[in-house]
Amino acid sequence: MLSLNTARALRQAGLVWKPAEFDFFAVPDRGLDERVFVISEMPAAMGQIQGTPMVTFEGAVEWAMDYVPTGEVLWLPREEQLRGLLAERLAAEPHFLLSLNVSAHGCRCEIIFGGRSLGFQAIDGSEAYAAALVHVLGSSTVH
């Protein structure tokens, strides 16, 4: 799962979120930074009924928080979403390269962008893909 800092960097680099079912997001700066939410037609929550742990299905949003504008939440794209977004942006490169190498030291995303071979090291695949995507998005807005 992406860190809030990485999600902020992606948004600042220009990544636009088109919310879809099963997307993860966070509501930062409201005392909910550690909570991850998912878009779902049928919200489910953990609860207790007569002392027995239960999964409950709710028809209303938690905590009477009726709505939060999407501009105030942070999308936390999954690894496969990040790879797909990166592949879309690299598809026009003359020599397409997008790979993820996993080792005991973490993950390294390798790309060819602007005619250069680049590598982005991170603790996991999501963070490595995100670092590469931030670079590509940032470079794209400069031109």
Q: What CATH number is given to the structural domain containing 97?
A: 3.30.160.20
Q: Residue 109 in 3-state DSSP? A: strand
Per-residue pLDDT of 84-129, as tens digits, reads 999 999 999 999 999 999 999 999 999 999 999 999 999 999 999 9
Give mean pLDDT, residues 34-39.
87
CA dihedral sign of residues 11, 14, 20, 21? negative
Q: What is the pLDDT of residue 82?
A: 98
Average pLDDT for residues 64-74, to the nearest whole number? Answer: 71
Q: What is the pLDDT of residue 32?
A: 78
**Domain count within the chain:** 1
Instruction: Give domain status of residue 130, yes or no.
Output: yes
Residue 103 lies in a domain: yes
Which segment of 10-19, 63-72, 78-87 scores lowest on mean pLDDT?
63-72
Dihedral (CA of 75, 8, 83, 89) sign: positive
Residue 36 or 133, more confident: 133
Helix, strand, coil abundance in the chain, percent, nearest 5: 30, 30, 40
SS3 111: strand
Q: What percent of the chain clears pLDDT 90, i.e. is strictly above it?
A: 59
Closest by Cα among 9, 45, 3, 5 to 24: 3
Nearest residue to 118 (alpha-carbon basis) of 105, 131, 104: 131
102 inside domain? yes
Q: Does 49 or 93 have the greater pLDDT score?
A: 93
**Residue-range definition of the domain harbouring residue 83:** 78-142
- Residue 86, domain member (yes or no): yes
Confidence at residue 66, expressed as pLDDT on a 0 to 100 scale? 58
Give 17-21's long-range contacts (Cβ < 8 A, gap of 24+): 17/70, 17/75, 19/70, 19/75
Which pTM value belongs to this model?
0.82
